[in-house]
């Protein structure tokens, strides 16, 4: 299957929930599925399958997950498919489920079982027809691009005051600030939190400068372990993290210094650890989701290396993903931001110009994280990449992220 998790923010830019976007099959590779076979396994809810397999803590750090259900899967035995706490699962329906008695009764049953309910893709003209359905909803997701959600907010505030509203498809930080100022929304969704910076705004803060110095040292092909260790020793948090990292390696010996700890880890592993640990510190003043996005992209890109015929460049792919939001972090255009850190030309070419050997992986990840399944399917077909390979690459990245946070 194909799947991605889209964050839902509160007004303080803290992630409060995630929404699943999934596709079970690649219809370009299996055109026969566009016939009646597309309903095979339709009673299985893809998101619940993954929650059951990986656990809600790994996927969302225990936050609510919005799981789409269809007009067929709504009648499945949901509890049998997933034993996660019901209050953490928000069953998400859309306008393909008609507001008729059969479906209204089923939604009442699910509500009684403790599940939360949400609806999306309703046009303004649908609101009155869906009145009985809306009475059962905990959340309504409103498309910021297609409807005047400020007016819709007034409607729901008067008729359904217990419904929490989510403003969706927010493209810019200006739109987010405007909607936040008007108030009345529980969640905000869109690409606004990771919109690229197009104009240089600020100098690099002194603390960030120290971390960038460390990044530049370890990304030099012939960097000295001792030099890196000396800089690490000036930062208490990094020092503690390094000692925790090497503790399992020091079963039969004592760690006598930070230089000793760095030597035990070795040059390659120290480089990878520093790139990851420093990214966490570097992004500390940004929304947590930016850090998560950076780290997930890094590991996802590394995991895709072999599928794209780039096994020998997996380290570069890791860095490409890690630095793919550097413009957001340093508040500079990507070309200027990458001059601050000394990365390989292949990484710069991919992130700035979308050219070179690494660029196809970067483009693939961008399409994947926005659930553009048609384009993802097309790219998999062109590259002859199996869906299971992509699934394993992404879920492995989710598991890895859980270990480094």
Among 95-104, 112-121, 339-348, name the one with the lowest average pLDDT: 339-348
- pTM (2 decimals)? 0.80
Q: Which helix (H) or strand (E) holds 23?
A: strand 15-23
Q: What is the mean pLDDT of residues 151-176?
A: 92
Q: How confident is the model at residue 206 (pLDDT cuts 50, 70, 90)?
A: very low
What would the pLDDT profile of 322-375 be if each residue is shown by its tens digit?
A: 889 888 877 888 988 888 776 778 999 999 999 999 999 999 999 999 899 999
- pLDDT higher at 106 or 53: 106
- pLDDT higher at 232 or 400: 400
* Residue 262 reports pLDDT greater than 90: no
- CA–CA gap between residue 2 and residue 46 (Å, rounded): 9
Q: Is 334 exposed, middle or buried (0-12, 13-18, 19+ CB in 10 A)?
A: buried
CB atoms near residue 31 (< 10 Å): 9
What lies within 8 Å, CB to CB, of 2 at 6+ separation is 22, 23, 24, 26, 368, 371, 373, 376, 377, 387, 390, 391
- CA–CA gap between residue 263 and residue 267 (Å, rounded): 7
Among 234-238, 345-349, 387-391, name the one with the lowest average pLDDT: 234-238
What lies within 8 Å, CB to CB, of 142 at 6+ separation is 149, 152, 153, 165, 166, 167, 168
What would the pLDDT profile of 3-52 be if each residue is shown by its tens digit?
A: 899 999 999 888 999 999 888 665 555 554 444 444 444 567 878 888 99
Mean pLDDT: which of 116-130, 190-204, 225-239, 314-328 is highest? 116-130
Comparing C-alpha atoms, which of 187, 220, 206 is closest to residue 289?
187
- CA–CA gap between residue 109 and residue 350 (Å, rounded): 50
Q: Which domains does the chain show, CATH number per domain?
A: 2-194 (3.20.20.450), 286-404 (no CATH)
The pLDDT, as a whole number, for residue 38 is 45
Comparing C-alpha atoms, which of 401, 365, 381 is closest to residue 4?
365
The position carrying tokens 């413009």 is: 327
For the chain, first and last CA: distance in Å? 26
The pLDDT, as a whole number, for residue 304 is 97
Give the C-alpha distances (Å, rounded to integers) separating 71 from 45, 52, 129, 131, 138.
11, 22, 17, 18, 19
Q: 176 and 190 in contact (C-beta within 8 Å)?
A: yes
* Residue 199 reports pLDDT greater than 80: no
């Amino acid at each position: 299957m194909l799947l991605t998790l889209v964050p839902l923010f509160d007004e303080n830019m803290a992630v409060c929930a995630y929404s699943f976007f999934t596709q079970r099959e690649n219809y370009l590779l299996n055109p026969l599925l566009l016939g009646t076979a597309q309903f095979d396994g339709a009673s299985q809810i893809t998101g619940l399958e993954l929650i059951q397999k990986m656990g809600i803590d790994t996927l969302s750090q225990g936050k609510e997950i919005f799981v789409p259900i269809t007009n067929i899967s709504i009648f499945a035995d949901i509890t049998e498919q997933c034993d996660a706490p019901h209050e953490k699962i928000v069953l998400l329906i859309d306008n393909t489920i008609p507001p008729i008695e059969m479906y209204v009764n089923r939604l009442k049953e699910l509500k009684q079982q403790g599940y939360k309910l949400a609806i999306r893709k309703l046009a303004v003209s649908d609101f009155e027809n869906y009145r009985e359905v809306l009475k059962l909803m905990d959340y309504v997701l409103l498309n910021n691009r297609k409807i005047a959600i400020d007016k819709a907010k007034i409607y729901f505030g008067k008729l359904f005051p217990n419904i929490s509203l989510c403003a969706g498809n927010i493209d810019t930080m200006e739109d987010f600030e405007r909607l936040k100022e008007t108030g009345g929304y529980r969640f905000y969704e869109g690409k606004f939190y990771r919109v690229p910076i197009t104009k240089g705004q600020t100098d690099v803060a002194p603390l960030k400068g120290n971390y960038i110095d460390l990044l530049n040292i370890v990304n030099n092909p012939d960097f000295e372990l001792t030099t890196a260790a000396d800089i690490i020793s000036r930062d208490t948090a990094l020092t503690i993290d390094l000692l925790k990292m090497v503790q399992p390696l020091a079963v039969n010996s004592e760690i006598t210094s930070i230089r000793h700890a760095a030597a035990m880890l070795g040059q390659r592993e120290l480089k990878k650890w520093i790139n990851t640990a420093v990214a966490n510190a570097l992004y500390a003043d940004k929304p947590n989701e930016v850090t998560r996005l950076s780290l997930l992209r890094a590991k996802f890109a590394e995991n895709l290396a072999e599928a794209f015929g780039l096994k020998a460049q997996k380290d570069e792919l890791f860095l490409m993903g890690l630095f793919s939001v550097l413009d957001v972090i340093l508040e500079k255009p990507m070309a200027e931001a990458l001059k601050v850190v000394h990365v390989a030309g292949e990484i710069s070419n991919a992130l700035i110009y979308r050219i070179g050997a690494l660029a196809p992986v970067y483009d693939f990840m961008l399409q994947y994280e926005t659930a553009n399944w048609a384009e993802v399917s097309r790219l998999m077909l062109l590259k002859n990449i199996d869906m299971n390979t992509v699934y394993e690459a992404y879920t492995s990245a989710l598991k890895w992220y859980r270990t480094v946070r």
